[in-house]
Chain A
Amino acid sequence: MRRIITILLTTVVVLAGLGLFARATSSGSSVTKPRLERSIAVSFSNVYSQQAALLGHKGISPKSLHAQAMCDKGPGVPQNGPGTSWVCLMSWDDPNVPMPTTGYGKFELSVHSNSCYTAGGPSSLIGYQTIAAADGRTVNNPVYEFDACFDPQSDNTPTRVTFPSAVRITSTTATPDDSGRLRVDLACAEGAGGCRGTLTGTADGSPLGVVDFSLTKQATDSLNLPGALPTKAKNVTYTVTTTAGVAPPPLVLPVQR
């Protein structure tokens, strides 16, 4: 019995020693931003071509898509290592599916330490879990969610692909406070360079003023419009112009008191 306990203890000590050695000499994870960006562009192009063949879209090949990706693990964390917070923004050329104003779609990744990941894309661009094939059958959408693995020793030089963040107004109603002023919630999504610009408010044609904003990526802020809301106003229109980031189209919100 003593022998077995000795062996178990030795094993634990050896493993702990190896662990400490690894920690001390750690060169970091093999899961890195450049490797993910290269890998997802390739695997996406392959599954997207499969989808195009199913849908009967002609002239789509992995090469013709020119897919490019920019991946981000989130603000304030090292941009490497496995995790479920990886987001990749990707652009590609398909005449059948126009890109949104931002020019890219957002993919959410769950990346494992063994260099394999599962990616899920935006339904607005790639469709839902099942699609109607050209021959009338309902088939699984190969792009909706896909698995891929990359070489942990592959090229790790930055891809230099960048996409601007999208600005989004997250308020769903216009509710004035006691002094009749409006507060607007703004979000700056994933992307490079953050979001800067101005927000202009008008209530049924009469101006409510202009506010400047400056947000880092993946952050939110609340802006106070200087002008008071006319008592009879029914709708408020918010217009965003940006010097950094992509502005959303003007948003009309109903006034709720």
Chain B
Amino acid sequence: MTLTATDHRRVEATTDRAGFGAALAFEVRKLRAQVRVRAVLAGALLAPVPIALIIHAQGNPPKDTLFGRFATTNGFALALLVLGFAGQWLLPLLTAVVAGDIFASEDHHGTWKTIMTRSVSRASLFGAKTTTALGFAILGLVVLAASTIVSSVLIGGHGTLTGLSGQLVPPATAWRLVSASWLSTLPPTVAFTALAILLSVWSRSVAVGVAAPAVIGMVMQLVGATGGAEALRPYLPTTAYEAWHGFLATPAFTGPFLIGLVACSVWTVLTLGLALAITVRRDITGG
């Protein structure tokens, strides 16, 4: 194959200034090499199986949690019970494993100077790291959701589900509603990813970036459940983790999901904007 003059110019242009694409490819490559990332994804894929087996084998169903009442006899209820727990701390932690580390690890290894002196703009680098973290969050959530739903239904059976208005939900509808419920946790997971990125950029500490989002998530839940601050509930990303309740009621309601979508978008834009500002203004010559 012969290269034309235009092709030559294009090759030079990309090699001259490594842009967003090159930075993204590099970040993805770094991520794929990490044992921790592989372990989290393998956990998301395999852990739902023993969890479903253990809950299914309980003599007394865990009635104090939503859908716990039917979790031992119905696979759809089992998948929704796990979703209830996932939204409390598992999903914020899952995404923070990468998002809380992706900036701070450069501090940890002292590699900011190395990557910043490459001919890639800080904004491109930020975009690449953020896209990588978001991609991992979505991948982790989809893997966990698919694995939980499939293993729960295989273990617990696909009988008729009792919904959140006491109505009977036929299996064909239940498949759809349970999948939609799991997917409805995407906006808050994206918001927590952005929060983890901000904490990671700001604190320059891997420990804070990974652990703090889950802790803040817990605090938000506490705030949302406390009498005086209940008005704050709709605007917290943790509330969006419970928006799926509306899908399982009859008549179904999507108000909390839509408010959660807006609230999570605002959280994401604000935290990412702050993180970008800190990254761009940061003085790396000092260390």
Residues of A within 8 A of B (CB): 3-4, 7, 11, 15, 18-19, 21-23, 25-30, 39, 42-47, 50, 81-82, 112-116, 118, 142, 145-154
Query: Which of A3, A28, A113 has the most C-beta atoms of chain B within 10 angstroms of its own C-beta?
Result: A113
Tell me the complex Cα distance, A7–B246, Å: 36
Given A50-B162, A151-B249, A19–B203 Cβ distance below 8 Å?
no
Chain B residues within 8 Å of A150, by CB: 249
B231, A22: Cβ atoms under 8 Å? yes
CB distance from B283 to the nearest CB of A (A): 14
Q: Are A19 and B229 in contact (CB under 8 A)?
A: yes
**In the complex, A22 Cα to B245 Cα: how many Å?**
24
Contact assessment for B165 and A151 in the assembled complex, using a CB-CB cutoff below 8 Å: no
A150 to B252, CA, bound (A): 9
Closest A residue to B208 using CB positions: A4
Q: Within the assembled complex, what's the spacing in Å between the Cα atoms of A147 and B228?
A: 25
What 10 pairs between A and B have smallest CB-CB spacing?
A: A46-B166, A22-B232, A151-B253, A47-B166, A43-B166, A26-B231, A149-B245, A149-B164, A22-B231, A153-B255
Q: Chain B interface (Cβ within 8 Å of chain A)?
A: 63, 66-67, 69, 162, 164-168, 199, 202-205, 208, 212, 216, 219-220, 223-225, 227-234, 239, 242, 245-246, 248-250, 253, 255-256
Question: Whose C-beta in chain B lies nearest to the C-beta of A25?
Answer: B231
Q: CA separation between A7 and B195, bound complex, in Å? A: 13
Interface of B is mostly: helix
Question: Residue B203 contacts which of A3, A29, A142 (CB distance < 8 angstroms)?
Answer: A3
Known: A7-B199, A149-B245, A154-B253. Is A113-B224 also a contact (CB below 8 A)? yes
User: Given A11-B216, A19-B223, A148-B164, list of 18 further CB < 8 A pairs?
Assistant: A7-B202, A18-B232, A19-B232, A26-B228, A29-B227, A29-B230, A43-B166, A50-B166, A50-B168, A114-B225, A142-B162, A145-B63, A146-B69, A148-B249, A149-B248, A151-B255, A152-B255, A153-B256
Partner of B242, one of A3, A81, A114, A146: A114
Q: List 25 A-B contacts (CB under 8 A).
A: A7-B199, A7-B202, A7-B203, A7-B208, A7-B212, A18-B232, A22-B228, A26-B231, A27-B231, A30-B233, A42-B166, A45-B166, A50-B162, A81-B230, A82-B227, A113-B224, A116-B66, A116-B164, A145-B63, A145-B69, A149-B66, A149-B245, A149-B246, A149-B248, A153-B256
**Is chain A's interface secondary structure helix, strand, loop, or mixed overall?**
mixed
Q: Which residue of A lies closest to B234 (CB)?
A: A152
Inter-chain CA distance A42–B252, complex, in Å, is: 13
Q: Provide the residues of chain A in CB contact with B225, threshold 8 Å.
A: 82, 112-114
Min CB–CB distance B19 → chain A (angstroms): 31
Q: In this complex, what residue of A is CB-closest to B248?
A: A149
Distance in angstroms from B78 CB to nearest chain A CB is 15
Complex contacts, B242 vs chain A, CB 8 Å? 114
B167 touches A147 (CB 8 A): no
How many angstroms between the C-alpha atoms of A8 and B131 in the bound complex? 26
Question: Which residues of the partner chain B approach A3 to less than 8 Å between Cβ atoms?
Answer: 202-205
The residues of B that contact A147 with a CB separation of less than 8 Å are: 66-67, 69, 164
Give Cα A204–Cα B255 distance, bound, in whole angstroms. 65
Chain B residues, Cβ within 8 Å of A149: 66, 164-165, 245-246, 248-249
